[in-house]
Amino acid sequence: MTLDTENITQALCREIATVTRKEEKEIRADGSLHDNGIDSMSFLELLLFIKREWGVDFLEEGIPPEAQKDIHSLAEHIQWKSEKK
């Protein structure tokens, strides 16, 4: 799978749907993690998923506020971090 923002966004939406026990269509990529039902425990699950899938470790340094705006922004940040490695 090519590592582009769209693919990352889709994968994030799928994972968010899984951890929040929602239908994938209910997840809004233009909504924040909180708006999509992510709480502190599911947030940890999501961080571990991001590390596993793309090797980006937010557990060490946290997600910057600008990347928390919505799922798209988070995907863009993951792509940027992943390319920077």
To other proteins, the closest distance from the beta carbon of 56 in angstroms equals 13
Residue with Cβ nearer other proteins (43 or 54): 43
Label residue 16 exposed, middle or buried (CB < 10 Å: 0-12, 13-18, 19+).
Answer: buried
Cβ(74)–Cβ(68) below 8 Å: yes
Q: Which of residues 11-70 bind other proteins (CB under 8 A)?
A: 39-41, 43-45, 48, 51-52, 59
To other proteins, the closest distance from the beta carbon of 6 in angstroms equals 27
Helix (H) or strand (E) holding 28: none
Q: Contact positions toward other proteins, by CB under 8 A? A: 39-41, 43-45, 48, 51-52, 59
